[in-house]
Amino acid sequence: MAGIYIHIPFCKTKCHYCDFYKTTDFGAKTDFVSALKQEIEWRKNELQQEEIASIYFGGGTPSVLKIEEISSILHHLSNCFSVADDVEITLEANPDDLTPEFLEGVKNTPVNRLSIGTQSFHDADLKSMNRRHNSQQALASIQAARDAGIQNISIDLIYGLPNQTLADWKDNVLKAVALDVQHISAYHLTYHEGTVFYEYLKTGKIKELPDELSFDQFKLLLSELKKAGFEQYEISNFARNQRYSRHNKAYWERKKYLGFGPSAHSFDHKSRRWNVSSLRKYLQAIDEKGPFWETEVLSAQDQYNDYMITSLRTKWGISLNYLQTNFASKYVSHFQDEAEKYLESKHLYLEDGIYRLSDEGLFISDKIMEELFYME
Ligand SMILES: C[S@@+](CC[C@H](N)C(=O)[O-])C[C@H]1O[C@@H](n2cnc3c(N)ncnc32)[C@H](O)[C@@H]1O
Ligand code: SF4
């Protein structure tokens, strides 16, 4: 079983926190769809008949595609790959694109999961992030998706925003819970170099939230979602009734995936590949049949480090047995030595040979992973 990721590199405007590859120039949108299909065609033998269990349209903003474009990309994929009958097909969508006409169109494609970029239900937050929608549209888009008969809906929220109080965040979480969606992704704000928020932070126009408040927001998220019947299956991901994102879960289980479009990544157990993060260079290279990607062959150390990042973040954790079966003893002893202090501080706990993060550990997972890494 493998996955397919499609990167749609267009956004009508840019949000102040976002460093995903995108352009606001839609001039080459039609050429992009043709180039994407060409890339798919060229790479159709890379998965050697492995069945496709998930397809994910990410971005950028996949909801700026026309319904015919979504359908024709999916049709092309099913001609080139062996797509499972029960494939999960997710489309990331911005609330302001979710008109009744668009949703009706989506219903008539094989897309069966929507991931809606709600981010917040507060106008002040949305404005500060430079989102295109307001709180009323955030709520209405989710209702409209449900009214259109889309059963599997996920929403994205961001917390740790400048000036966001615990009460503001609680209100957001409660609104999300009341919406009766199956899945919530809640990300702590990251300040990425090159974004407007990063500049504002550097010049003192905004301030990072104090760690204690961020942690309180995280704890509130965990407790409210648990009360509402959500299971936390990854640091930022919560599902009801095991409606996990099959696509993202497969990343964390290190299943193979192919990524198409500018900046998309691919993984085949032995190597990683990433496409150029430039629509212009991508289109030019497809036109000239030239390379538009770089690859890296993964060493044993890379594979061990990958196992750390992908497993520790999930509720399935790090298996000692898996480590011992798949990695040389120097990696296993490094892991056990480094994990020891976090077991003592209760950031990690060990149960039946599986190491998992506690709630305190989940909040500082980046630091813990860094220390578990093996660096020669
Ligand atoms: C590819 S992005 C956006 C998809 C879609 N274009 C949208 O904006 O709704 C996926 C999600 O990542 C999250 N995200 C992006 N940048 C982030 C950042 N710097 N900090 C926290 N979350 C971020 C947002 O919640 C966003 O919805
Ligand atoms: S968050 Fe979404 S809409 Fe905003 S810039 Fe990033 S990809 Fe585009």
pLDDT in tens, 213-271: 999 999 999 999 999 999 999 999 999 999 999 999 999 999 999 999 999 999 999 99
Determine the pLDDT at residue 49. 80
Determine the pLDDT at residue 19. 97
Nearest partner of 368 among 271, 249, 359, 158, judged by Cα: 359
The CATH number of domain 300-372 is 1.10.260? no
Burial of 260 (0-12, 13-18, 19+ CB in 10 A): buried
Give the atom of ligand 2 at the shortest distance from the alpha carbon of 14.
Answer: 5
Portions of the chain given CATH number 1.10.10: 300-372
Determine the pLDDT at residue 333. 97
Tell me the backbone φ, ψ of residue 189, rounded to 5 degrees: -55, 130
Q: Tell me the pLDDT tens digit for each residue of 88-133.
A: 999 999 999 999 999 999 999 999 999 999 999 999 999 999 999 9
Determine the pLDDT at residue 376. 85
Rounded to a whole number of angstroms, the CA Rg of the chain reads 21
Q: Tell me the pLDDT tens digit for each residue of 338-372.
A: 999 999 999 999 999 999 999 999 999 999 999 99
Beta-bridged to residue 354, according to DSSP, are: 319, 351
Portions of the chain given CATH number 3.80.30.20: 2-252
Other CB atoms within a 10 A radius of the CB of residue 331 amount to 21
- CATH number, span 2-252: 3.80.30.20
Q: Report whether residue 264 contacts ligand 1, using a CB cutoff of 6 Å.
A: no
Q: Which of 10, 19, 21, 22 has most ligand 2 atoms within 8 Å of its beta carbon, as the pocket-test mutant?
A: 22
